[in-house]
Structure 1
Amino acid sequence: MPALLYNVPKKQKRNHLATIEKLLSDADRVVICSGWIKLDGVGLLKDSIAGAVARGVAVTVYSNRPRKDEKKTEVQQAAVDLLVELGVNVIATTKKFLHSKLWYFESKGKYHALIGSANMTEGGLRVNEELSAPIDGEVGDEKHSEIAEYLRHVDGLCGSRAVGPEESTAEAVTL
């Protein structure tokens, strides 16, 4: 993986979308923090997410709760509904606005994380000028512990366990 990941022209494979699709194809576990979730972004990842879930991968997405006014929303309800339909555990933050962008993938005792500016939108995945720093290592190392601590913090910001059609009592994510 490159030292920095950014979106280059659409025809090339070095963008967030191509990297995330590859990481989804190898993952045993996935946790995503994205303040913005749009149907166009979920649509781009739909097949990769469905493939991961079909392999038994637990996929969890933390985001903001959709607003009633779809024109002024960072999170589209239709996008959340599609994620839930795919088998993703979508968890809403309610105490603070989530602006973090973290894409975390775990596989065979190793982890890969992308921390940067890419949301789960078409713009974030392949169109906008976005930049992320990849972090790789062994599960349990110092950086992994820091990521796990941050995700526990995010989980603490959540007043509900899901933002899909029905509220759920899904368990908090632990690494």
Structure 2
Amino acid sequence: MQETTKPFSPQRWLHLELQAIDSQVGRWQSRRFEIAALHPAEPHAAGALPLTLFRDERGDYRFNLSSGAPRLFVTGSIAPSSAGGGFVADGLTLSQTVAAAYMDGERQVLSCPIPEALQAWVEAFIGRHGELLEARRKGKQGRGRAQDQLGVDSAEPVSGGAVKAAGGQLMGDVGDTSHE
């Protein structure tokens, strides 16, 4: 019996159509870019970018897909004015965390809604590799919680006048003047 399904590929190639929008605020001219259209492309076609899914970003993909408006993020930079001043896209991601890291590096990030076909592809990827649930550490419950927030170690006995100093040493009672 012959297998009729293609192997799952964690990569798709896309071609972006960008639109420059010029505006003027006071005497300052400004140009921003938007994604006008998104098309499937052949690998290594002129202007095509790969969208690659990574297993360790599955939690980010699920968060994005379950939001009210899932987004595709395009990373890039503005070319110098001598080169036409256009947006040069160099990467695609579905992870808001990755997109935010690019923005922290002072790179430009554009976004557009994810087409339904790509949403289905991402769902299949998550279904194939399983959900990645981030284990978040629970806060302390019950007794000692308020003391821990104030900086008193729960392992040390608490006496009425003892407070923990910033250096981690116990200071004497408030009325004790023997340390002077």
Do they superpose with TM above 0.5? no
Pairwise TM-score range, normalised by the shorter structure: under 0.3
TM-score by structure 2 length?
0.24
Task: Give the structure with higher Rg (CA).
Answer: 2
Q: Which has the higher contact order (CA 8 A, sep 6+)?
A: 1
Higher share in helix: 1
Higher share in strand: 2
